[in-house]
Amino acid sequence: MFGVTILGNNSALPAYDRHPTAQVVTLNQHQFLIDCGEGTQMQLSRYKVRRSRINHIFISHLHGDHYFGLPGLITSMGLLNREHELHVHGPAFLKGIIDIILQAADTRLPYQLHFHPLVHEGTIVDDEKFSIDCFKVFHRIECWGFVIREKKNLRRINKDTINLFAIPTSFYDQLKLGEDYHNGEYVVKNEEVTLPNATPRSYAYCADTVYTESLAEKTKNVSLLYHETTYLKDLEERALKRFHSTTVQAATLAIKANANRLLIGHFSSKYEGLDEFLAETIEVFPKTELAIEGVSYRVL
């Protein structure tokens, strides 16, 4: 299972029951929270996402609509007697904010809170089966995007053929890595006893950003690309002035990045309906979906 659930799809001002930015990425047994606007803890309850399973939180930047829900979530996790550690990744300045807020309340968390400042582009979480990288995007203040990539998957043992050969099980890990089996007398070619696994999948989150082609390189070939569309295409000038993007710009980036699918969100509160966002974007990049709160999108 690899997917993303939208908890908030609106830009800075909450409106029309749309909430500020937050989304949960599920990758097998892992859950990652990306951004944490005000009310995220309530949205997690509303959509029955278990906060105890969230071990990593990524904050793109320090505009309030992307993190004002974080102090409440951290505090509530403590009140719920969380004991396992929590990792927060965000701009360096965030640590001071969390510290002063916990100090003011005289709060001692019952769990370890590890803060990881985002400093350089590159890998920030490296697991056996996936990696998470951060990259810079271009907004009014320091702002980061994130890309979660499955690692090249191991081959699978072919249960129909493996017993035809006397291969010790201690060699199975090497078979999964693609090696042939040699025992001095004969050779078993790897593809005779293994099957290829699925192509690795990936999800990129571009946070708040002006349109820039340089992001295509950072998000190359992703399975699902999230790009903000704060404005419809007629407001390109306003988007540029406010360091945001339009529908057509998001679609153009999806083409340049060779993304498989595109997810758009961070809609300005000046728009009550969202149909136009979808219509304008699919005209340029057909495999687009609107980020709707409470909906999960699979990374395929």
Query: Applying CB under 8 A, what is the total number of residues that bind a copy of itself?
Result: 35
Interface map 223-262 toward a copy of itself (x if CB under 8 A): ----------------------------------------
Nearest 5°: the CA angle 144, 252, 24 is 40
- Distance from C-alpha of 99 to C-alpha of 274, rounded to nearest angstrom: 38
Q: Binding to a copy of itself by residue 266, rule CB under 8 A?
A: no
CB of 121: closest distance to a copy of itself in angstroms? 21
CB of 12: closest distance to a copy of itself in angstroms? 6
Question: With CB under 8 A as the contact rule, which of the stretches 27-35, 92-100, 170-178, 290-298 interacts with a copy of itself?
Answer: 92-100
CB of 50: closest distance to a copy of itself in angstroms? 15
Interface map 47-86 toward a copy of itself (x if CB under 8 A): ---------------xxxx--xx-xx--xx--xx------
Q: How far is the CA of 191 from the CAs of 47, 135, 151, 178, 194, in angstroms?
A: 44, 37, 20, 8, 5
Residue with token string 């005289």: 106
Out of 22, 49, 94, 290, the residue judged to bind a copy of itself by CB under 8 A: 94
Binding to a copy of itself (CB under 8 A) within 122-151 occurs at 140-141
Interface map 18-47 toward a copy of itself (x if CB under 8 A): -xx-----------------xx-xx--x--
Mapping DSSP onto H, E and C, the string for 248-299 reads HHHHHHHHHHCCCEEEEECECCCCCCCHHHHHHHHHHCCCEEECCCCCEEEC
Binding to a copy of itself (CB under 8 A) within 104-123 occurs at 104-106
Q: Binding to a copy of itself by residue 164, rule CB under 8 A?
A: no
Catalytic amino acids?
65
Could you tell me if 265 and 231 are in contact, meaning their C-beta atoms sit under 8 angstroms apart? no
Q: Binding to a copy of itself by residue 265, rule CB under 8 A?
A: no
CB of 45: closest distance to a copy of itself in angstroms? 7
Phi, psi of 124 (to 5 degrees): -115, -20
Which residues are near a copy of itself by CB under 8 A?
12-15, 19-20, 38-39, 41-42, 45, 62-65, 68-69, 71-72, 75-76, 79-80, 91, 93-94, 96-97, 100-101, 104-106, 140-141
